[in-house]
Structure 1
Amino acid sequence: MVLQKLNLILLIVIMLLKQVVKTNLHLSISNIAPSFSSCSSSLFQNIQRHSSSSVMRAIQQDEFGGPEKLCLGNASIPEPSKNEVLVKIFGTAVNRADCLMCKGAYPGQKKNSKPDILGLEMSGKVHSVGLASTKWTIGDRVMGLLPKGGYAEYAAIDENHVMAVPDGLSLHEAGGIPEVWLTAYQLLHFVGNVKENDIVLIHGGGSGVGTAAVQLVRLAGAIPIVTAGTKDKIDTCLSLGAKNGFNYKEGEFAPGVLEATGGVNLILDCVGGSFWKQNVACLAPEGTWVNYGLLGGANIDGPILGLLLAKRASLLTTTLKSRSNEYKARLISEFSRNALPYFVKPAIVHGQEIRLKPIIDKEFKLESASDAHRHVLGNKNIGKVLLIVQDEKD
């Protein structure tokens, strides 16, 4: 009888010891903080700021899908390589590409891999620099182009992919500049070879890229006209200097474009398939059609080659995310030299003052990234939708 009681007591002690070890191990693992915390864990549904110097807040997802898959979790702060800088992020923004990557639907994206932290741009302050980095110093106000990782408190970035934030702009506003302004600059100057007095048709005029392109077309001494889906979006573009605007939801835009212009020299097209016939119709002889998105589908059924050939026109396609680091560095360098100064002081073009400005539609807190995605997917925005990562006074 005594032996049985001893065995029972021993069994209870062993069970208690196992529980203590398990609890301590769990706490130890939680304190270390893995690189990717589980979004499904209730521990991270209402995550608070932490004191660990190696851990940051970041938006994550367990699997590809819609905005509902995004949640706030913990991630390890990245270490900058020798030619990188580590930036403490204050602002970032939601782009169409982020929405596609969230679903695993971005061209070339590997669907069998774990989703990365989203975010193709950011603004903030340099927190530390790599061993061979010489362009920036700690505390510099910067913004930059990222391959991923902007929806977080810190990001490591190639020093050549960083630009100074113009005086007079907040770090939050600057978070909405890199991706769309560099895209628009690339479309116009690196791909479309815009020339003075060209007439440029910009689809999605009310978008982030569209509102940037309207201003950059004017800066180049060319003439912007736009299509958009609401009167408010068209009015915004007209206030930025677009000469004409056409609501594609009210009927075909090609007749109005041709009546107003006689034919356009350059088209910036984020729509694709559903606009192809009207695009070809709008092109002037030897005009250029630059496609950079497929919101209207990828398929075309018709004699597109014959129609382009008859006009000796060019159809070019481009993306930015998949470009080489060298290409992005050259793009950022030229944009910094030829456009960035005019966020601070006006340029005089054809006798008119032109001062560049980011168009901000709405701001969301980082933890509300899913709501920000829904806002963009609903085509509700005019200009950029920002994610505020932390207050500028932090």
Structure 2
Amino acid sequence: MKAAQCSDYTSTNTYESVLTVQESVPTPNLEYDTPPAGFKNPMLVRVLSVALAPGDVRVMTGDTRELQGPPSMPYTPGGDVCGVVVEMPKESKKKGGWSFGVGDRIAARFVNKPMGMLGEYALVSPDVCDKVPESISNDAAAALVSSAAVAVIISDYIKEGDRVLIYGAGGGVGSHLCQAVRLKGASYVVGVGKDAKRLKSKPISCDESVNYTKDDAFNNKEWQDKPFDVVVDLVGGIWPKLVDQNQSEKSIVKSANQGGRYLTTTPDSAIFQGRSVWQILRVFLFPALWRATYTRIGFSRSYRPQYSYVIGLPSTSDIVTRTLSLAEEGKLIPCIDDSGPFPFTTEGVRDAFRLQASRHAKGKIIIKVSEK
């Protein structure tokens, strides 16, 4: 089959020497092959569209090779997919079966490791996917199962009437989160990104927006006088800035005692190495555990918002089903970068990865593998 192949790790984000699309890659075999991500009970799908995410780039750099690296080189990248079911698992372990079968179009997110999807055929887990409604396109389905599902999870932390500030509002998760918090009843939404005009346009529709290259939301006197209930950090590094502001002037987010919350999906630096369990604990667990603890007890509740690290997706299809349903009802509009979808060619795949690595995508980055 035709598939993207990465022959080695690269830290340059140029991809010319390691990333190609080849015509003679062995087609996955449900009976004999183990998915590169290592999950059990796979099904075979014919791939239509693939959505890229930060994890796809991180795996290719090798910064997390011991924990997220492929079992061997070359490997097929790509983790979130829309495709048509070709063959179901030989032995169904799901009680009551699944709501889809051979011939159905499904959207599936990755399990364990984001890899194996950028080919004409792929092995996916039937436990974390669902049937795509007819009104949703292939590209939109891939975008929804990827970043929009994360946005829906984060939005569960929002309360009716909340004032919400979102850093990274223009990216894949952010573009959908601005919509999802409205569905939860947020009364005032401000997005921080590079394209401030886009953030105020439909479907993102923020009440206000900030171009971070020109302005600093922390210096806005209006928000210091009337602080936010929630700050969402999708880019990394906002918590240290918030701490510094607490020490010099009024904060733009309420304290925990006042109901203020700080939500994040990333460590202080979005670019990190995690080549051992110890490194991962130092990057993810220890700082988050300490902050979550001291903002929930004692005196710090009077001047810090409650810190929560929102990480991990459920190992079931529930969030996929919820996200696709919201899109089918017209409540959640898929946001795809205007430069895509990218063609399934060597240069098209390289361009898609370059844009993902730049961290300046406006919505989801989609690679179209097949039309139908």
Q: Give the TM-score normalised by the residue count of structure 1.
A: 0.71
CA contact under 8 A between 2:30 and 2:123: conserved in structure 1? yes
Whether the 8 Å contact between 1:257 and 1:263 is mirrored in structure 2 is no
Letter paired with 2:127: N
Partner in structure 2 of residue 254 of structure 1: 218
Which amino acid is the alignment partner of residue 56 of structure 2? D
Q: Which residue of 2 aligns with 1:129?
A: 88
Query: 1-side partners of 2:366 and 2:9: how far apart?
Result: 22
Query: Could you say which residue in structure 2 is the equivalent of 1:159?
Result: 126
Counterpart of 2:333 in structure 1 is 357
Contact 1:90 1:124 in 2 (8 A): yes
Partners of 1:79 and 1:308 lie apart in 2 by 56
137-146 or 284-293, which moves further after superposition? Answer: 284-293
| In the alignment, structure 1 residue 117 sits paired with structure 2 residue 81 | no
**Alignment match of 2:355 (pick from 365, 375, 378):** 375
Q: Structure 2: how far apart are the matches of 1:260 and 1:226?
A: 16
* Corresponding pairs, count: 315
- In structure 1, the residue corresponding to 2:307 is in which secondary structure? strand
Measure how far apart 1:122 and its partner are. 0.2
Moved more, 381-390 or 168-177: 168-177
Deviation at 1:161, TM superposition (A): 0.8
Q: How does 1:284-303 map to 2 (within 5 A)?
A: 284-286=254-256, 287-294=260-267, 295=269
Report the residue type matching 1:143 in the other structure.
A
Aligned mate of 1:87, from 31, 45, 54: 45
1:214 equivalenced with 2:178 (yes/no): yes
* Aligned match of 1:341: 325
Q: Distance in 1 between matches of 2:371 and 2:222?
A: 48
TM-fit CA distance, 1:383 = 0.7
Give 1 or 2 for the bigger CA radius of gyration: 1
How far apart are the structure 2 equivalents of 1:343 and 1:308? 40
Whole-angstrom CA distance in 1 between matches of 2:221 and 2:4: 42
**Does residue 64 of structure 1 match 2:44?**
no
Q: Which has more strand, going by share of residues?
A: 1
1:272/1:297 contact within 8 Å kept = no
2:145 aligned partner? 178
Q: 1:257 to 1:308 in 2, by over 3 A?
A: farther
Measured after TM superposition, the shift of residue 316 of structure 1 is 2.3
Instruction: Please report how far the alpha carbon of residue 359 of structure 1 lies from its aligned counterpart in structure 2 after TM superposition.
Output: 1.1
Provide the rounded CA distance (Å) in 2 between the counterparts of 1:240 and 1:110. Answer: 33
Match of 2:135 among 156, 162, 168: 168
Aligned to 2:318, what secondary structure does the other structure show? helix
Comparing both structures, which one devotes a greater share of its residues to helix?
A: 1
Larger RCO, structure (CA 8 Å, separation 6 or more): 2
In structure 2, runs of 5+ residues without a counterpart are 32-39, 273-282
Give the % identical residues: 22
User: Which stretches in structure 1 are left out of the alignment for 5+ residues?
Assistant: 1-55, 347-354
Distance (Å, rounded) in 1 between the aligned partners of 2:231 and 2:77: 29
Change in Cα spacing, 1:247 to 1:160, as seen in structure 2 (3 Å) is same
Structure 1 CA distance for aligned equivalents of residues 67 and 221 of structure 2: 36
C-alpha separation in 2, matches of 1:244 and 1:72: 42
Return the alpha-carbon distance in structure 1 between the equivalents of residues 225 and 334 of structure 2.
Answer: 28
Q: Distance in 2 between matches of 1:210 and 1:372?
A: 19
Conserved 8 A contact 2:255-2:301: no
**1:328 paired residue among 296, 315, 327:** 315
| Preserved contact between residue 93 and residue 122 of structure 1 (Cα < 8 Å) | yes
> In the TM superposition, what whole-angstrom CA distance separates every residue of 1:178-221 from its partner, at most 9, and x where no partner exists?
110111122232xxx22222222211111110011011111111
1:125/1:196 Cα in 2 relative to 1: closer, same or farther (>3 Å)?
A: same
Give the aligned residue type for 2:195: T
Residues in 2 aligned to 1:341 and 1:110: alpha-carbon distance in whole angstroms: 31
Write the letter of the residue equivalent to 1:72: V
Whole-angstrom distance in 1 between the partners of 2:255 and 2:147: 29
Root-mean-square deviation over aligned CA pairs: 3.0
For residue 316 of structure 1, what is the aligned residue in structure 2? 308
